[in-house]
Amino acid sequence: MSEAEPPLPPAERAALRRLFARAPVFAAVERQAGRLPWRTRPPGFPGLLAAIVGQQISNHAAAAIWRRLEALMGGTPTAEALLALPETALRSAGLSGPKIAYARGLAEAVATRRIVPEAFPLMPDEAVIAAISSLRGFGRWSAEIYLLFALGRRDAFPAADLALAASAQALLGLAERPGEKRLRALAEAWAPYRGLAARLLWHHWRHLTSRPAVDS
């Protein structure tokens, strides 16, 4: 959850050009908002915990909580370190009661190897989504965010994301903000680069709303 955002790797820049050829409307995003940064999350337990931290709060707030968690655990969070912390410490970091329950459930699942995040890179998208969605507090949105930012899956598209929908309405000139089903249908035309399209839509929305580009 670093605030630093490096530029796109060369392979992703080449894929982006292919997306622009398929959907020229996306080329306007970089002209207006600047070159697309390459936001990432760590794979494994830290990336999954980051998904919990970022649920339903701003990127800025999520980054602040993450820094406090790192301070509590003496570095990158691990399942064992989180389980060793009392609830009062997690609350002091800024986690709500439900998020503490979700975080502990995740930590227990990883510590007991009920889920094995190290295996996710070798698994197809839907299998990863099913594994992550089996955890309390995780749904398809959280799993697709993980696929996109922790595993770098180029075609993952979190269609339930409200900022994506708002950005798509503005960029595509839609009369109303699309719901999840319609947004997912619209994104079919952008496959196999839907993840890059999502990144561009977020980049566009940050530009429109003047929000800082801090990962959540």
- Give residue 120's identity as a one-letter amino acid code: F
Inter-residue contact 153 to 129 (CB < 8 Å): no
CA distance 151 to 129: 12
Structure tokens at 64: 């602040």
Stretches where the chain sits below pLDDT 70 are 1-5, 211-216
Inter-residue contact 40 to 5 (CB < 8 Å): no
Domain coordinates in residue numbering, the chain = 10-39+156-209, 45-149
Inter-residue contact 197 to 23 (CB < 8 Å): yes
Inter-residue contact 22 to 155 (CB < 8 Å): no
Q: For 124-130, which contacts have Cβ atoms below 8 Å and span 24 or more sequence positions?
A: 125/153, 125/155, 125/156
- Residues contacting residue 155 through CB under 8 Å, at least 6 positions apart: 125, 191, 192, 193, 194, 195
CATH architecture for the domain at 45-149 = Orthogonal Bundle (1.10)
CA distance 146 to 132: 9
Res 82: pLDDT = 98
Domains 10-39+156-209 and 45-149 share a fold: no
Q: Which of 77, 66, 124, 141 is nearest to 104 (CA)?
A: 77
What tens digit of pLDDT does each residue of 117-146 get?
A: 999 999 999 999 999 999 999 999 999 999
For 62-82, b/e burial (b = at least 16 CB within 10 A) is bbbbbebbeebbeeebbbebb
Residue with the two structure tokens 């680069």:
193
| Cα three-residue angle 199-200-206, rounded to 5 degrees | 90
Cα–Cα distances in Å, from 84 out to 68, 72, 79, 97?
16, 11, 9, 17
Res 130: pLDDT = 96
CATH architecture for the domain at 10-39+156-209 = Orthogonal Bundle (1.10)
Q: What's the whole-model pTM score?
A: 0.88
Res 55: pLDDT = 85
Res 173: pLDDT = 96
Res 211: pLDDT = 64
Residue with the two structure tokens 């050829």:
21
